[in-house]
């Protein structure tokens, strides 16, 4: 449905040129919710704006449906108003001089999505009821709360039934509780309408909950594309691992490769660890290993023989409600882990740390 090829965009500023996006490449299937995730300033908005036509890329190709809307060869550039996409801006861009009804009706009254007069009212009402704002038609836009403005922006982007919806951090201006509710609601709505969406966010939780597939961006490049589970469980590099959730990352070297039912093992700064290894590795090869805090098991003392057990000292333990987040010191290195709230852990306490071998993931 959407295809982006080798997208490049450089901004010329007084300080020099700034490569906002270089070489972004992805496909979005019909009906898919595709997430652009990355820290602030990594080029997500720029990518989205290039697709909408609000920025002109320096290089690359952009297809929407069967149509080439931008191509560096042949110099195709389809103007914004002909691209047939809906967009929700980060600022919501609600026109303050219009009422809610007039805001949502705008695309049907002016421009190329103009509808016959008699249809306008019905379609606006339908769009408003989709987002649960039926009774707010006559409200002047400045009198809306943040959440309501976000809904108006969404209704306005949906009212002309675009095939593609672009959303730029639509929930970032809401408070935490509302944000959590809206995530689920938004996903349900988009799935119900079977709309193809590109969604930009810097919030990894939002990305994991909302999306079908995620592209993790960093400094203008796409670092990995995959399903939320893939991205979380099998990050392809330390940038992705570090950005999604908390990760314990250690450089390691291979000490034994798996052979005849024996397991492979690596030596790391925190000690020797047994872990699953792909067959292609060789002894002595330097690698990076990663494991998640919630997979680490922490015990007060050694309970029988077990694999991958290390000794450590609790440096920090923070109670966050559902569990305790701890930082342990193992051989002088920090290891992040999570402990159930029922378990008592104190700063300074000596503990035994077990890292289950299937929790260890090797970064290629």
Residues that bind ligand ADP (CB under 6 A): 11, 13, 18, 20, 38, 40-46
- Six-digit token pair at 90? 């980060």
Residues 108 to 167: which contact other proteins by CB under 8 A?
Answer: 110-114, 156-157, 160
**CB-based closest residue to ligand ADP:** 45
CA of 106: how far to CAs of 96, 98, 113, 156, 160, in Å?
13, 9, 9, 8, 10
Distance CA 200, CA 191 (A): 17
Work out how close the CB of 134 gets to other proteins at its nearest, in angstroms, rounded to a whole number.
21
Q: Does 6 help bind other proteins (rule: CB under 8 A)?
A: no
Minimum distance from residue 231 beta carbon to ligand ADP (Å):
17
Q: Are strands 286-291 and 323-330 parallel, antiparallel or unpaired?
A: unpaired
Nearest alpha-carbon partner for 206 in 38, 56, 87, 21:
38
Q: How many CB atoms lie within 10 A of CB 313?
A: 12
CB-wise, 82 or 229, nearer to other proteins?
82
Nearer to other proteins, 22 or 156 (CB): 156
- State which of residues 91, 194, 267, 347 lies at the interface with other proteins (CB under 8 A): 91
Return the range that interacts with Mg ion (CB under 5 A); candidates 39-47, 181-189, 219-227, 259-267.
39-47
Residue 208, token pair as written in the block: 């994991």
| Least distance between other proteins and beta carbon 10 (Å) | 10
Nearest to ligand ADP of 20, 270 (CB atom): 20
d(CA 229, CA 280): 24
3-class SS of residue 233: helix
CA distance 326 to 300: 14
Query: How far apart are alpha carbons 59 and 297 in whole angstroms?
Result: 49
Least distance between Mg ion and beta carbon 217 (Å) = 11
Residue with tokens 């939320």: 228
Report the alpha-carbon distance of residue 334 to residue 316 in Å, rounded. Answer: 10
The least CB distance from residue 42 to Mg ion, in Å, is 9
Task: Using CB under 8 A, pick the residue from 25, 27, 58, 294 that binds other proteins.
Answer: 58
Judged by DSSP in three states, 260 sits in coil
Kindly identify the residues of this chain, within the stretch 246-305, that bind other proteins according to CB under 8 A.
Answer: none
Residue 122: name its binding partner from other proteins, Mg ion, ligand ADP, none (Cβ under 5 to 8 Å by kind).
none
Confirm or reject binding of residue 52 to other proteins (CB under 8 A).
yes
Of 35, 149, 171, 162, the closest CA to residue 94 belongs to: 149
41 binds, among ligand ADP, other proteins, Mg ion, none (CB under 5 to 8 A by kind): ligand ADP
- Residue 199 binds other proteins, judged by CB under 8 A: no
Quote the CA–CA distance of 335 and 196 in Å, as a whole number: 40
Pick one of 78, 174, 225, 249: the residue that binds other proteins (CB under 8 A): 78
Cα 190 to Cα 322: distance, rounded to the nearest angstrom: 31
Q: Which does 18 bind (CB under 5 to 8 A by kind): Mg ion, ligand ADP, other proteins, none?
A: ligand ADP
Residue 74 makes contact with other proteins by CB under 8 A:
yes
Report yes or no: 173 and 142 within 8 Å, Cβ to Cβ: no
Q: Which residues contribute to the site for Mg ion (CB under 5 A)?
A: 45
Interface ranges with other proteins (CB under 8 A) = 14, 52-54, 56-58, 67-70, 72, 74-87, 89-91, 93, 95-97, 106-107, 110-114, 156-157, 160
């Amino acid at each position: 449905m959407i295809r982006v090829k080798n997208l490049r965009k450089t901004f010329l500023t007084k300080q020099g040129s700034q490569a906002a996006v270089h070489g972004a490449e992805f496909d979005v299937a019909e009906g898919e919710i595709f997430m652009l995730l990355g820290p602030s300033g990594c080029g997500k908005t720029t990518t989205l704006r290039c697709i909408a036509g609000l920025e002109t890329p320096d290089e690359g190709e952009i297809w929407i449906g069967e149509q080439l809307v931008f191509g560096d060869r042949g110099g195709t550039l389809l103007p914004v108003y002909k691209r047939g996409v809906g967009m929700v801006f980060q600022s919501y861009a609600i026109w303050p001089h219009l009422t809610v009804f007039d805001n949502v009706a705008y695309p049907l009254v002016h421009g190329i999505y103009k509808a016959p007069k008699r249809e306008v009212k019905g379609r606006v009402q339908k769009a408003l009821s989709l987002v649960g704002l039926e009774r707010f038609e006559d409200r002047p836009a400045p009198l809306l709360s943040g959440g309501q403005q976000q809904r108006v922006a969404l209704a306005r982007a949906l009212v002309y039934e675009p095939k593609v919806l672009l959303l730029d951090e639509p929930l970032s201006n809401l408070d935490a509780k509302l944000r959590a509710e809206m995530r689920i609601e938004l996903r349900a709505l988009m799935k119900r309408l079977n709309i193809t969406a590109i969604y930009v966010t810097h919030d990894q939780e939002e990305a994991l909950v909302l999306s079908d597939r995620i592209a993790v961006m960093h400094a203008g490049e796409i670092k990995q594309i995959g399903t939320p589970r893939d991205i979380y469980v099998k990050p392809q590099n330390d940038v992705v691992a570090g950005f999604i959730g908390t990760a314990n990352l250690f450089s390691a070297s291979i000490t034994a490769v798996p052979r005849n039912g024996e397991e492979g093992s690596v030596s790391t700064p925190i000690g020797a660890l047994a872990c699953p290894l792909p067959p292609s590795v060789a002894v002595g090869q330097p690698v990076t290993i990663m494991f998640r805090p919630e997979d680490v098991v922490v015990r007060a003392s050694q309970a029988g023989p077990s694999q991958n057990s290390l000794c450590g000292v609790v440096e920090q333990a923070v109670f966050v409600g559902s569990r305790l987040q701890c930082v342990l010191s193992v051989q002088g290195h920090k290891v992040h882990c999570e402990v159930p709230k029922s378990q008592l852990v104190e700063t300074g306490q000596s503990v035994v740390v077990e890292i289950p071998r299937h929790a260890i993931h090797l970064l290629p």
